[in-house]
Amino acid sequence: MIANLSITSARDSIATKKVSARELAADYFKRIAARNGELNAYLTLSEERAYKQADRVDALVAAGKSLPPMAGVPIAVKDVISTRGVRTTCGSKILSNYVPPYDATVVTRLEAAGAVILGKTNCDEFAMGSSNENSAYGPVQNPVAPGCVPGGSSGGSAAVVAADLAVAALGTDTGGSIRQPGSFCGISAMMGSYGRVSRYGLIAFASSLDRIGPLARHVADVATVLKIIAGRDPSDSTSTTVPVDDYPGMLGKPVQGLKVGVPKEYLGAGMDSGVREKIKAGIDLLRKLGCEIRDIQLPHTDYAIATYYIIATAEASSNLARYDGVRFGPRVESDSLISMYRKTRGAGFGPEVKRRIVLGTYVLSAGYYDAYYLKGQKVRALIAEDFRKAFQQVDVIATPTSPVPPFKLGERVNDPLQMYLADIYTVTGSLAGLPGISVPCGRIAGALPVGLQIFGPAFGEAKVLQLAHAFEQAGGASL
């Protein structure tokens, strides 16, 4: 059994015939069989598809042909990303039997690069949650902090990487759903700028916020996956034509002299004392690496949670209207159309999704649109302007990923406000459309992981990855 592989070491092992791609896939499926009952991190496995891809890679090796960058590398895909012929549920009963007829662009690009897709990972229903306790198929267990949540909504993707049940995984991030699970599971996890990665094939939650990104144990692997999935896609009109940098090739660049902004608003009340201690140690490490640490202000941070939960729920209300028993989802028969809609959605959606649909419908309703949704969009612009001004003074911004370490399963499930506040440091970058990564920054009492978040300016992914890699190589995870 080969453990703790990186993308490079997995590919090299296959290229040098130490192991075949089929054998490697089989090894990972054995691990999944042994641990998934405990973790509940995979919802659906795609063994037939995985072995077909592995055989294609092995045929290239046998023929002595050059291998693509992720040849034979086992990966996992969050269950809100479409996979042709493989069940895609969004963690919801209403899509319990949905099998997409096409692949998302990110899936097509990864398989073209040789990746072997092992299966689909558990997540909060329709990506709505901060703990992965909202899935219709049960919560995911945190593999590195037993009894705690893995973070959400991409908790399954973070858990399979942390448990070595995949070399890397794809997640989605609307308000922190890649970065916060990465922090809670002690791995690296990144969202690119809005428009950097195609959303074609992503089942939408909030279309102006949703992003797809990679999770992996090593920053270099995050960079490799991001380079493969990034770039213009004609199928997604919001994807950008901005050129994709060679992210892996730029990791070794020196970080001396890099100006790192630390916003005072992110280190105030409400932060766990253990998290504060680790983040301060992380900032000290950046200083030792030769970075210039500057205090900055992001004055509209206090309004970010309220703004996010107005805009995101409004867009969710619109996007989820299609799940009505007519266009999508199993139908609950009734004696009238309205009754059928009500019963279908009542049975198919979980409580958190219903809560957000109700909130979103309310803020868009007649008489309230200007007071809530329109005002939310105006504050969003102010938050984006805060960042724009900050990036005139600094190159990147360093913050905590979460104000708290992984919390106990069930601890916040009946307190939505406390659950929402777990996203207070991640939603700002989401609203502003900026790239951000979470990298491991030590563990509280040697047990609970802490993440350092690094933001960059729009399409500044290379600089974000460069600093994250330097931090990782300097021992940031061991602080």
| Known active-site residue 78 | yes
Residue with tokens 């890649």: 178
* Largest separation between any pair of C-alpha atoms in the chain: 70
Q: Say whether 153 is catalytic.
A: yes
Q: Which of 13, 46, 78, 227 is catalytic?
A: 78
**Contacts for 325-331: CB closer than 8 Å, 24+ residues apart:** 328/94, 328/95, 328/98, 329/94, 329/95, 330/94, 330/96, 330/97
**Which residues, at least 6 apart from 18, have a Cβ–Cβ distance to it below 8 Å?**
none
CA angle (222 as vertex; 470, 254 as ends), nearest 5: 20
- DSSP string for 148-209: B---SSSHHHHHHHHTTS-SEEEEEESSSTTHHHHHHTTSEEEE--TTSB--TTBPPS-TTT
Q: Is 102 exposed, middle or buried (0-12, 13-18, 19+ CB in 10 A)?
A: middle
Sequence-separated (6 or more) residues with CB below 8 Å from residue 255? 286, 289, 290, 291, 466, 467, 470
End-to-end CA distance of the chain: 30
Q: What burial class does residue 63 get, using C-beta atoms within 10 Å of its C-beta: 0-12 exposed, 13-18 middle, 19+ buried?
A: exposed
Q: Looking at 92, 177, 183, 438, which residue is catalytic?
A: 177
Helix (H, G, I), strand (E, B) or coil at 431: helix
Catalytic site includes residue 20: no
- The β-bridge relationship of strands 396-400 and 448-455 is antiparallel
The answer to whether 427 and 419 are in contact (CB under 8 A) is no
* Annotated catalytic residue within 13, 135, 153, 198: 153
**Active-site residue list:** 78, 153, 177
